[in-house]
Amino acid sequence: MSFQNPVFIPGPTNMPEAVRQACYMPTIDHRSPTFGKILHPCLDGVRKVLKSDSAKIFIFPSTGTGGWETALTNTLNSGDKVLAARNGMFSHRWIDMCQRHGLDVQVVETPWGEGLPADKYEEILKADKNHEIKVVLATHNETATGVKSDISAVRKALDAAGHPAMLFVDGVSSIASMDFRFDEWGVDVAVTGSQKGFMLPAGLAIVGFSEKAVAASQNAGLPRTFFDIKDMQKGYDANAFPYTPPVGLMNGLKLSLDMLLDEGLETVFARHHRIAEGVRKAVSAWGLELCAVSPEVYSDTVSAIRTPEGFNATEIVTHAANKYDVAFGVGLGEVAGKVFRIGHLGSLTDVMMLSGLATAEMCMVDLGLDVKLGSGVAAAQEYYSNNAVDGK
Amino acid sequence: MSFQNPVFIPGPTNMPEAVRQACYMPTIDHRSPTFGKILHPCLDGVRKVLKSDSAKIFIFPSTGTGGWETALTNTLNSGDKVLAARNGMFSHRWIDMCQRHGLDVQVVETPWGEGLPADKYEEILKADKNHEIKVVLATHNETATGVKSDISAVRKALDAAGHPAMLFVDGVSSIASMDFRFDEWGVDVAVTGSQKGFMLPAGLAIVGFSEKAVAASQNAGLPRTFFDIKDMQKGYDANAFPYTPPVGLMNGLKLSLDMLLDEGLETVFARHHRIAEGVRKAVSAWGLELCAVSPEVYSDTVSAIRTPEGFNATEIVTHAANKYDVAFGVGLGEVAGKVFRIGHLGSLTDVMMLSGLATAEMCMVDLGLDVKLGSGVAAAQEYYSNNAVDGK
Amino acid sequence: MSFQNPVFIPGPTNMPEAVRQACYMPTIDHRSPTFGKILHPCLDGVRKVLKSDSAKIFIFPSTGTGGWETALTNTLNSGDKVLAARNGMFSHRWIDMCQRHGLDVQVVETPWGEGLPADKYEEILKADKNHEIKVVLATHNETATGVKSDISAVRKALDAAGHPAMLFVDGVSSIASMDFRFDEWGVDVAVTGSQKGFMLPAGLAIVGFSEKAVAASQNAGLPRTFFDIKDMQKGYDANAFPYTPPVGLMNGLKLSLDMLLDEGLETVFARHHRIAEGVRKAVSAWGLELCAVSPEVYSDTVSAIRTPEGFNATEIVTHAANKYDVAFGVGLGEVAGKVFRIGHLGSLTDVMMLSGLATAEMCMVDLGLDVKLGSGVAAAQEYYSNNAVDGK
Amino acid sequence: MSFQNPVFIPGPTNMPEAVRQACYMPTIDHRSPTFGKILHPCLDGVRKVLKSDSAKIFIFPSTGTGGWETALTNTLNSGDKVLAARNGMFSHRWIDMCQRHGLDVQVVETPWGEGLPADKYEEILKADKNHEIKVVLATHNETATGVKSDISAVRKALDAAGHPAMLFVDGVSSIASMDFRFDEWGVDVAVTGSQKGFMLPAGLAIVGFSEKAVAASQNAGLPRTFFDIKDMQKGYDANAFPYTPPVGLMNGLKLSLDMLLDEGLETVFARHHRIAEGVRKAVSAWGLELCAVSPEVYSDTVSAIRTPEGFNATEIVTHAANKYDVAFGVGLGEVAGKVFRIGHLGSLTDVMMLSGLATAEMCMVDLGLDVKLGSGVAAAQEYYSNNAVDGK
C-alpha cells in the first residue's frame, strides 16, 4: 500500500489531508456537550448541501445501503407498493432490497445507459387511481453506468398525475458533487454516504427526510431498530445517538461541509463538471463512447466508457492496478466487461485527472486497443487549460 | 477538544497511536486484492480472540447495536420465542429490540447488580418441553452495572435442560478485554464492536456465528439486507463486501488484533484484571460499594460505583468534565443518579488509571462526599506497585 | 513505544494533537508565497511571546544549542570577553561553547541550586572600567537544577554599572512557559527552542535579537554561515530561508503560537505555576527538598528533587521507565545521582501531573525511601482542587 | 494549502504516508534506551546507502548547509587551501561558505551545465607539489543545473597526482536516489540532507566521515560546537545526542531507510533513472534542451530545462503555481530566467510524473511557447509503458 497515486474509482474518493486528520481525532466522551458541537453542524451542513430548509437529517454509522434501508423501513409496511426503474446496478440493488423487505415493486426495466423514464412513471402513476403506490424510487446518478437522471422530471410526473406517493432519491454518487434540490424537487427521502462527494472514508449513511416522510414513520410497520429515525431524533435532541456515534467520521464530515460550503456549492458543482468534461473530451479523442447514451444524462462524477466489441474492459482495470498501481472501476452487472469506469468526484484536481487519463491511455495501448498515446490527455489539457479557475 | 487527559468511560476507549494511524489510511480500491489482505487477517484474528476454531466472523460498518440486529434478523422469524434476563440497560435494550422485531421475549427480571440467573434459565428451559424457545440471550458484561455474568453456567443450564435453543451472547464490553470462549461455551452468536477491547473508534459491528446459527439463517424470515450474513459471506468469498467496506477501520482492526495477539490474550485479560482490581481497591478505600453485588460478578472492564443515598452520582461526572476535563460514565436507567462509572478497558496503563482515580477523588471531595484525598489512589498504588508487570 | 503515558521530562514536552498534526503537513514548495504565510506569523508570534515590540526573530532548523551559537557567532570576535555564572549544567555548557569559540569567559562559580549572582555581576561590571566585557550571559531557567534567575536584576546590575555590555539570555526552558520580558529587561539576545514551552518536537532554534545585537553582527568576526542572521534576514525579506526551511515544524509553531496567545500568556504562565506548585506541595509532603534553595528561585517548568544522602536518585528514573513506562529526568553534572527531575511544562494538565506524582511515589516506595503512598498526591490534589480553573 | 497535487521541485520531495506517520510520533524520553533503537539503525542504514563499510555517520538537526559546515569546521584550519569547481548555485554556495570560514579556495570556474572538470583538478593537484591543498570539494549532483558529475574521475585525478588531499562530496540531491560509492570512490566526507532521496521533511544534515576525516578533526582549528563530530560521537556512544535530538525525524529516517533497502538500492536508482528518462523524452518531444550539456551528465533527480531565448522561464513556475497549483523549480543564479526545473526524485511514480509533464505542457502553451499539448506526455508514456516495472 504505497498510496502514491490518486484513485480514480467512483468512490471512495481521494480525501483531503485536513479531512483525514479531522477523522483521526482521539477519543472523546460522546455523551458530553462536546459531541453536540460536532453533531449539529453536521446536520445543518448536510441540510444546506441538500438545498433544503426543513429536511430532517439523520446520520447512521453505516453506508448508503443502510441509508436505503432507513428510507424503506421507516416509512413503509410489508406489502406496500413501490414504483422503480432498473437502469443500472445500484437501482437494481435498491429494488432487490425492497423485495427482501416484502415490498411489492413495480419495476420499469430501462436500458442501462439511459436515465429514469419520467414519462413511463407518469403513465403508471396516472393509472394508479387508488394510489396504491406509496413510494417512487429514483436513482439520481447511476454509478454503474455514469448516468444522471432528471429528478425534477420525476417530480413533474408525480404532480401531473396528482399522485401522493413519496419520492425517494438515491443521491449517493451525486450529492455534494452535483446539484441536488431537495425542497425544489419535492424529495421525501434523499440518501447518500460519506465516501463520495463528502470526501470521507466509508462509514456514514446520510439521509434527509421530508416532513411527510417523518410522518410516515408513525405508521411504518417494517421492523427496524438500528435504522430507526425516531430513536435517532430522540438522541439528537439530547446531543447524542441511541448508540455509540462515529465521532471521528462526523468530525471529518463537519470539516468537509465547511470546506464545501466555503468553496460554494455552485463552484463545487462547476469543478466536478469541468473535470468530467475533460474526461469526456479524452474519451472522444480516443474514439470511444460513453455508456451514457446522450449528453443530458452524462454524469459529472463518473464516466463508464464502452470498449470495442470483443475486448474485455475489465482487463484495463486489472492492468492499471498491476502495472501502474492505479485504480479504475470495473463494469458491473449487465455492462460487466463492456465498460470500465473513471471516477472523477471528490477531492480531485485537473492535474490529478490528467494522470488518470494518461494511465488509462497507456493501459489501452498496452492491451492493443487502437488508441494514440497522448491523444486523450491533449484533449483534456486543452479543455482544462481553457477552463481552469486560477488560484487552485 | 484538548485531548490531553485520557478518558475513563466504558468505551470508546483510549486508542493506541499506531492504531489510529492505521485507521487513518488514504483511499484504496476496496475491490482490489489489497483489501483481501486487510479483510482476512481481521476475520482470522477475531476468531482467535473469540477462542473459536470455526465461528464465521462478520464485520459490518455499524455498531454493537447493529450486531444485535444481525444476530436476530439472520436467525429468527417473527413471533419466535426468546429467553432473556434484564439486569441492566444493555440487556434491556436488546430485549426491546427483540420486541420491535416481533419476537416474543420471555423476560426474567433480575436485580441490577446481579449476574444472569442461570438457574432460572434452567428452570424455564426445562419447562419448555416443546422447545418453543429458539434463542437464549445473555449479556456477558453489563456495561451499565459493571456486572460480568457466567456464560458457561448458561450453557450448562441449556445442556441440563437438553434444550436446543441457540445461545446469543452480547460481548460488546467484554470481548478482547475479558476471557471469552466461543467454542467451549457453545456460543451460537457473539456480538461485539470496535470501540471497546479492540481500541478503535466506533464504527464496526463484529459478530461470530456458529455453524448452527449460520444454518438458521436459511429459514430466518425477519427482513434484512444491510445486515444479511449471506450477502456478506458471498462478498468475503470474493475479497469484498456487498457494499463499500470501512477499509480504514478494518486496517486499524488488523493492527489491533496483531497487538492483542502479540501481547497474548491471557496477558491482555490479566492486565485488565489488574487495572480493575486497583480501581476496586480505591473504591473500598473510599468507603464506597460497587453496584455489582459480589466479587464473582465484578467486571474487569467497567466499575459502577454507588454513591451515598441522597447524593446525585451524575454530578461527579459533570463536575469531572467541567472542572478537570476528565470523562467518566453516568448511571443509566434504574441506577441513574445512583452510580457513576469508571471505564478501565482498552488502551490503558496503571499510571493512566491513577490519574482517573485521583480525579474521581477530587470530584467527590469537591462535592462534599466524605472521602479522603489520596486514599483511593494510595490503595491502588499499593496494588499496582505489588502487581505491576515490568516493562509495560 | 506505546506512547500511553505522558512524559515528565523537562522537555521535549507532551505535544497537543493539533500541533502534531500541523507539523505533519505534506510537502509544499518552500519558495512559494504559501511559505510566507507560515513564516511571518511565526516571527510575529514569537516576538509577542518575548514581550518585545522590535526584536528581530530568527528561526533556525537546529536546537537551543544552535541558538547559543547563533548568539555568540553573530555578535563577537575571537578573544572578546564574556561574563557568565556557572550554576548548573546548561550555564556550564554555554560557557564551554564560548571557550571553544575563542572567547575569554570570566566565570562566576555559583552553587548549583542558587540563582544568578546579580550582585557579583554588578561588582565585576563596575570594575570593568574599560568595558572589555562585551556580553553578559544569563541562564533564565537552569533546567538542571530547577532554578529560575532574576533577569531584571541582571539588567539592573548592568545599568547600575553604566556598562554597555550586551545581555544574552538563555530562555530555553522558560520562554512560553514563564514570564519573559525582552524589552523591559533590555535583553539583547534571547535563545530558546521548539521542544519546551512551544510544545513542538525538537528541531528549531528560536532567537530574538535587539537592534544593538543586530548591529553588532556587522563587526562580528567569528566565522559562521549556517547560523548567520544576515543571510537569514535576507531570506525572510523574500519569504524564504537561505536554505531549505523546516516547513512542517514552523507550521506547528504557527499553531502553537496561536494556541498560546489565544489562551493568553498570563494564563499560560499561571497554569505552569499552578501545576508546579502542586508538584512542590507533593515534594514537601514526601519530606524531600528541592535543589533550588529558596522559593524565589523555584522554577515553574522543572523541579529537581533532592533524595536522601546515600540514595542514588537516578534509580528512580530508571525504575520509573522500566516498571511503569514513565519518563522523569536524571540529575546532571554536579547533582547527578543527587536529584531526579520532574518536568512540568508544555502541554500538561493537573490530572496528567497527578499520574506523574503517583508514579514517583510508587518508585520511591519500591526503592525503599521513607515516603507514604498517596501522600504527595493528596497534597497536590488539595492544591489543584482549590486552584483549578474551570472549563478546561 | 490543499496538498492535492504532488510537488515537482528538486526537494523537499513528496513523502510516503508511512514515513510522515513515523515522523509524527509522540514525545519519548530521548535519554532512554528507546532512542538508541532509533539512532543506531539510522546510522547503520545511512552507511549502507553510502555503500561504505566503515564511514562514521553523523546526523545533525540541521540541513545540507549545516552538513557542509560540519565537513569544513571539523577538518580544517583557518587559511587552509581548498580546491573547488563552480558549475552551479550549490557548488557556488559551498565555496562561499569556505571563504567565510577563512579558507583559501582555488576556484575552477566551469560552465553551468557541465560536470566537474576532473582533468583540471588533476592538473592543479599535480602542480601542488607541497600538498597545500587540504581538501577537494565535489558537488555530485548540481541541483541548480541538473548536472551529475563523475566522482570516481575526481578520485582518479587525486590518485594520478598522488595527492593526499581529502575528497568532500556534496551528495545532497544524489544520495539515496543515485548511485553513491563512498568506499570505492575514496570519499572522505559525504554530505546530504533528509528532504531529498530520504523522502523526509527538511531538518536533518546527514554526513559520513572517513577515518582520515575523523582523524583530521583532532587538529581542526575552525571553531565549532553545534556541529562538532567529537561531541556527537561521544553522544552516540551513550545512545544520545549532545543536545536534544530530532527524534521524530530520525524515526522517519529509520523507516525510510528500511523502505529503500527493502526495495533495493539498485532498484531505487533504476526507478529514478526511469522516471528521469521519461522526463527527458518529454523535453525532447517539446523541442527543448536540458541545461546539462550531454547525456553523461544528465541528472536522474532533477532536470533543468532551457526555454527559448527571450522567454522568462520563471514564468512557467509562477504560472504553474497560480493556475494549476503545481510546484516546479525556478532557475537560480546564472541560469535564473533561462531554465525551469522539474524535480523527479523521492517518493514518485511514473503516473505522478505524467501529471507534472502534462502541467508543464499546459503552462508552456498558455504562455505562448511553441509546444504541442500531449506531445511530451506521449513521449514519456511510451517510455514508461515500455519500461514500467509491474506492481509499482
CATH number at residue D103: 3.40.640.10
Task: Tell me how far apart the alpha carbons of residues D95 and D103 are, in angstroms, rounded to a whole number.
Answer: 9
Complete DSSP assignment for A319-351? HHHHHH----EEP-GGGTTTEEEEE--SS--HH
CA distance B251 to chain D (A): 14
Q: What angle do CA B245, B246, B251 make, to 5 degrees?
A: 115
Count Cα atoms within 13 angstroms, Cβ side, for A288. Answer: 31
Co-location of B275 and B361 in the same domain: yes
The subunits that touch chain B, with at least 3 C-beta pairs less than 8 Å apart, are A, C, D
Distance of CA D276 to the CA centre of its chain: 15
Q: Region C81-96: what's the mean pLDDT?
A: 98
Interface test with D, best of C5, C9, C24, C62 (most D CBs within 10 A): C62
Q: Are residues C181 and C231 in the same domain?
A: yes
| Residue ranges in chain B modelled with pLDDT below 70 | 1, 390-392
Of B17, B24, B25, the CB nearest to D26: B17
How far is Cα D250 from Cα D235, in angstroms, rounded to an integer?
Answer: 15
Q: Give the annotated binding-site residues of C for substrate.
A: 341
Q: Contacts of residue A342 in chain D, CB cutoff 8 Å?
A: none
CB A157 within 8 A of CB A125: yes
Q: Copy the grid coordinates of residue B354.
A: 491513577
- Do D381 and A373 make contact, defined as CB atoms within 8 angstroms? yes
Give the Å distances, CA to CA, from B209 to B103, B157, B182, B192, C270.
Answer: 20, 20, 9, 12, 57
How far is B196 from A243, CA to CA, in rounded Å?
13
Contact B354 C352 (CB under 8 A): no
A6 belongs to a structural domain: no
CATH of the domain at A290: 3.90.1150.10
Task: Identify whether D228 is part of a domain.
Answer: yes
CB contact under 8 A, B247 and A1: no
In a domain, C12, yes or no: no
Say yes or no: B258 and B271 in one domain. Answer: no
Three-state DSSP class for A316?
helix
Nearest CA in chain C to A20: C21
A92 vs A97, A188, A332, C161, CA distance in Å?
9, 20, 11, 91
Which chain B residue is nearest to residue D26, measuring alpha carbons? Answer: B17
- Which whole-number Å values give the CA distances from C72 to C82, C102, D370, in the listed order? 10, 11, 55
Residue B239 burial (CB count, 10 A) = 17
Residues of B in contact with D24 (CB under 8 A): 21
By Cβ distance, the residue of B9, B226, B321 closest to A65 is: B226
Q: Is residue A74 one of the residues assigned to a domain?
A: yes
Structural domain span for residue A129:
17-262
D137 phi/psi in degrees, rounded to 5: -95, 140
List the one residue out of A193, A172, A169 whose CA is nearest residue A181: A169
Structural domain ending residue among the three candidates B262, B279, B309: B262
- State the helix-helix crossing angle for C265-285 and C375-387, rounded to 10 degrees: 150
Assess whether pLDDT exceeds 60 at residue C280.
Answer: yes
Residue of A nearest to D323 (CA): A390
Q: Provide, as residue numbers in chain A, all residues whose Cβ is less than 8 Å from the Cβ of B202.
A: 30, 61, 244-247
The burial of D391, by beta-carbon neighbours within 10 Å (0-12 exposed, 13-18 middle, 19 or more buried), is given as exposed
The C-alpha R_g of chain C, in whole angstroms, comes to 21
Q: Partners for D (CB, 8 Å, 3+ pairs)? A: A, B, C
Using CA atoms, how far residue C317 sits from A15, C2, C378, D341, in Å, is: 44, 18, 22, 52
Q: Are residues B21 and B170 in the same domain?
A: yes
DSSP at D304: E
Residues of chain B in contact with residue C378, where contact means CB-CB under 8 angstroms, are 372-375, 377
Cβ atoms of D26 and D229 within 8 Å: the answer is no
- Residues C96 and C129 occupy one common structural domain: yes
pLDDT, mean over chain D: 97
d(CA C37, CA C47): 16
Q: Is C197 helix (H, G, I), strand (E, B) or coil?
A: coil
Question: D322 is written with which cell numbers?
Answer: 497560480
In a mutational test of the B interface, the residue from A14, A170, A226, A323 whose CB has the highest number of chain B CBs within 10 Å is A226
C1: confidence class by pLDDT, cuts 50, 70, 90: low
The answer to whether residues D296 and D257 belong to one domain is no
The strands making up C289-290's β-sheet, listed across from edge to edge, are: C289-290, C302-306, C339-343, C329-330
Please tell me whether the overall predicted TM-score, pTM, comes out greater than 0.80 for this model: yes
Is the preceding omega at residue D12 within 30 degrees of 0, hence cis?
yes
- Alpha carbon distance B77, B75 (integer Å): 7
CA distance A6 to chain D (A): 9
Would you call B392 and C2 a contact, using CB atoms and an 8 Å cutoff?
A: yes
Q: Are residues B252 and B313 in the same domain?
A: no
Preferred mutation among A342, A348, A351 to probe D, highest tally of D CBs within 10 A: A351
What is the Cα C142 distance to its own chain's centre?
Answer: 8
> Among C17, C24, C25, whose Cβ lies nearest the Cβ of A26?
C17
For cell 535583553, the residue is: C187
Q: Do B102 and A248 touch (CB under 8 A)?
A: no
Task: State residue D230's pLDDT score.
Answer: 98
d(CA C325, CA C1): 9
Q: Are residues A301 and A220 in the same domain?
A: no
Strand segments, DSSP code E, in chain B are 56-61, 81-86, 104-109, 133-139, 141-142, 147-148, 166-170, 189-193, 204-209, 289-290, 302-306, 329-330, 339-343
Residue D211, number of CB atoms within 10 A of its CB:
11
Angle at B324 between CA B322 and CA B327, to 5 degrees: 75
Is the separation of the CB atoms in C172 and C71 below 8 Å? Answer: no
Chain D residues close to A358, C-beta within 8 Å: 351, 354-355, 358, 377, 381
Total count of domains within chain A? 2
Sequence-distant (≥ 6) Cβ neighbours of residue A174 within 8 angstroms: A140, A141, A148, A180, A192, A197, A299, A301
pLDDT of residue D390: 67
Alpha helix stretches (DSSP H) within B50-204:
64-73, 89-100, 118-127, 151-161
Q: Are residues A258 and A321 in the same domain?
A: no
Alpha helices, H only, chain C:
17-23, 33-49, 64-73, 89-100, 118-127, 151-160, 211-216, 229-237, 247-263, 265-285, 314-324, 350-366, 375-387
Q: Do D351 and A14 touch (CB under 8 A)?
A: no
Residues of A in contact with D271 (CB under 8 A): none
Contact A268, A179 (CB under 8 A): no
The answer as to whether D276 is a domain residue is: yes
pLDDT of D183-202, one tens digit each?
Answer: 999 999 999 999 999 999 99
Residue D280 and residue D257 share a domain: no
**Of residues C12, C20, C224, nearest to D244 (C-beta):** C12
Query: Where is the domain boundary, C202, C227, C262?
Result: C262
Cβ-contact C345, C173 below 8 angstroms: yes
pLDDT at residue B282, rounded to an integer: 98
Closest CA to A132 of A165, A99, A154: A165
Domain boundary among the residues C218, C247, C262 is at C262
A204 CB-side CA count, 13 A: 30
In chain A (392 residues long), the average pLDDT of successive 10-residue segments reads: 91 96 95 96 98 98 98 98 98 98 98 98 98 98 98 98 98 98 98 98 98 97 98 97 98 98 98 98 98 98 98 98 97 97 98 98 98 98 92 50
Looking at the predicted complex, does its ipTM rise above 0.85? yes
How far are the Cα atoms of A253, C64, C188 from residue D226, in angstroms, in the given order? 46, 10, 21
Asked, for residue A156, whether it belongs to a domain, the answer is: yes
Domain membership of residue B254 (yes or no) is: yes
The H-or-E segment that residue D276 falls in is helix D265-285
Residue among D221, D50, A99, B193 nearest C78 (CA): D221
Whether residue A360 is contained in a domain is answered as: yes
Instruction: Say how many CB pairs under 8 Å bridge A and C.
Output: 7
Task: Give the full edge-to-edge strand order of the sheet including B133-139.
Answer: B56-61, B204-209, B189-193, B166-170, B133-139, B81-86, B104-109
User: Which of A64, A222, A246 is nearest residue B243 as measured by Cβ atoms?
Assistant: A64
- Contact of A99 with A123, CB cutoff 8 Å: no
d(CA A17, CA C25): 8
Residues A222 and A292 in one domain: no
Asked, as a colleague might, if the bond just before A12 is cis with ω within 30 of 0, I would say yes
Q: Which residues of B touch A68 (CB under 8 A)?
A: 225
- Extract the C-alpha cell encoding C359: 508514579
Q: Are A18 and A253 in contact (CB under 8 A)?
A: no
- pLDDT at residue C390 above 70? no
To test the contact with chain D by mutation, choose from C13, C73, C243, C359 the residue with the greatest count of D C-beta atoms within 10 A, namely C243
- For β-strands C189-193 and C166-170, DSSP reports them as parallel
Hey, are the CB atoms on B354 and C349 less than 8 Å from each other? Answer: no
Picking from D14, D355, D373, the nearest residue to A351 by CB comes out as D355
Q: Is a pLDDT exceeding 80 seen at residue C186?
A: yes
**Residues C243, C276 share a domain:** no
Cβ contacts (< 8 Å) between B16 and chain D: which residues? none
Nearby residues of C36 by Cβ (< 8 Å), 6 or more positions away: C239
CA distances from D104 to C227, D132, D190 (A): 21, 10, 21
Residues of C near A (Cβ–Cβ under 8 Å) read: 17, 21, 24-26
**Spatial distance between the Cα atoms of A349 and B261, rounded to a whole number of angstroms:** 42
H or E element, residue D57: strand D56-61
Q: What is the least distance, in Å, from the CA of C64 to any CA of chain D? A: 8
Scanning B11-60, the segments in alpha helix (DSSP H) are: 17-23, 33-49
Bridge pairing between strands D302-306 and D339-343: antiparallel
pLDDT of residue B1: 63
Task: Tell the burial category of D212 from Cβ atoms under 10 Å away from its Cβ (0-12, 13-18, 19+).
Answer: middle
Strand partners, B137: B168
Query: What is the Cα–Cα distance from D308 to D368, expressed in whole angstroms?
Result: 11
Q: Read off the pLDDT band of C2 (50, 70, 90).
A: confident
Q: What is the pLDDT of residues C250-260, one digit of tens each?
A: 999 999 999 99
Q: Is 60 exceeded by the pLDDT of residue C40?
A: yes
List the beta bridge partners of residue D343: D302
Per-residue tens of pLDDT for chain D, all 392 residues: 678 999 999 999 999 999 999 999 999 999 999 999 999 999 999 999 999 999 999 999 999 999 999 999 999 999 999 999 999 999 999 999 999 999 999 999 999 999 999 999 999 999 999 999 999 999 999 999 999 999 999 999 999 999 999 999 999 999 999 999 999 999 999 999 999 999 999 999 999 999 999 999 999 999 999 999 999 999 999 999 999 999 999 999 999 999 999 999 999 999 999 999 999 999 999 999 999 999 999 999 999 999 999 999 999 999 999 999 999 999 999 999 999 999 999 999 999 999 999 999 999 999 999 999 999 999 999 999 999 886 54
Report the distance separating Cα D213 and Cα C186, nearest Å: 44
Q: How many helices (H) and strands (E) does chain D have?
A: 13, 13
Contact call for C3 and D14, based on CB within 8 A: no
Interface test with A, best of C3, C21, C352 (most A CBs within 10 A): C21
Among all residues of chain D, which has the CA nearest to that of B19?
D21
